[in-house]
A and B are shown apart, each in its own frame.
Chain A
Amino acid sequence: KQEVTQIPAALSVPEGENLVLNCSFTDSAIYNLQWFRQDPGKGLTSLLLIQSSQREQTSGRLNASLDKSSGRSTLYIAASQPGDSATYLCAVGFYTNAGKSTFGDGTTLTVKP
């Protein structure tokens, strides 16, 4: 069974700190991995998508990496701000279920001023 795991479930850091969120998956046969952000009471906003042929993607203070062989992705947030507080979810597209994505349960990040 293809599973996506995000640890920790919650993370609290002081403003300005650099941090890493983790996503692991059980099947290396993936075609992409997507990171989302969800604010309370809101929908999911796509942050970054890494295709299977790529190792990383960057957008502003965010950097997502992908290591298929170890079944891991990380989302690095530089110089965190209170406005970064949200739940971050990763979603993996597995070739055996091409077209849909399997979501992790998310990591809820709190950045304290």
Chain B
Amino acid sequence: DAGVIQSPRHEVTEMGQEVTLRCKPISGHDYLFWYRQTMMRGLELLIYFNNNVPIDDSGMPEDRFSAKMPNASFSTLKIQPSEPRDSAVYFCASSSWDRVGQPQHFGDGTRLSIL
């Protein structure tokens, strides 16, 4: 089992540029989550998908943020245009559901710095 795979691991870009973060969930998992973590705000859930369908995007901070899951093995989180306050570590996680819930598995994260 390869685990949740995120890319890139680090991203440094200038304000105003488009940023795309990528995630490959664990095969067979039907839930996928995008989180953002900062010192000030801790771990925040941005959006999550079930069977490739967005269920709750209330955590997405602004219209500049968008997420897609075109198939069960791939998801993207896009920021356009990026701003310095978007600098954070972005995590992707996946899990499966069987009435009692199974563990969430996290990727190693993407450390994003917007200059």
Which residues in A have some Cβ–Cβ distance to B below 8 Å? 31-32, 34, 36, 42-46, 49, 51-53, 89, 91, 93, 97-101, 103, 105-106
Residues of chain B lying within 8 A (CB to CB) of residue A46: 103-106
Docked complex Cα distance between A99 and B31 (Å): 7
- Give the interface SS of chain B, mostly helix, strand, loop or mixed: strand
Q: How far is A46 from B41 in the complex, measured between Cα atoms in Å? A: 21
Q: Which of B90-109 contact A (CB under 8 A)?
A: 91, 93, 97, 99-109
Contact pick for B104, options A31, A51, A91, A97, CB 8 Å = A91
Instruction: Give A98 to B112 CA distance when docked, in angstroms.
Output: 30
Closest chain-B Cβ to A21's Cβ sits at a distance in Å of 16
- Tell me if B42 is interfacial: C-beta within 8 Å of chain A: yes
**Could you say which residues of chain B place their CB within 8 Å of the CB of A93?**
101
The distance from the CB of B21 to the nearest CB of chain A, in whole angstroms, is 14
Asked, given contacts A42-B108, A43-B107, whether A100 binds B33 with beta carbons under 8 Å apart, the answer is yes
Main secondary structure on chain A at its contact with chain B?
Answer: strand
How far does the Cβ of A61 sit from chain B's closest Cβ, in whole Å? 19
Tell whether A89 pairs with B107 under 8 Å between CB atoms, given A53-B100, A99-B48, A99-B55.
Answer: no
Q: Verify B42–A32 contact, CB threshold 8 A.
A: no
Q: Give complex CA distance A45, B50 in Å.
A: 22
Q: Does B18 contact A (CB under 8 A)?
A: no
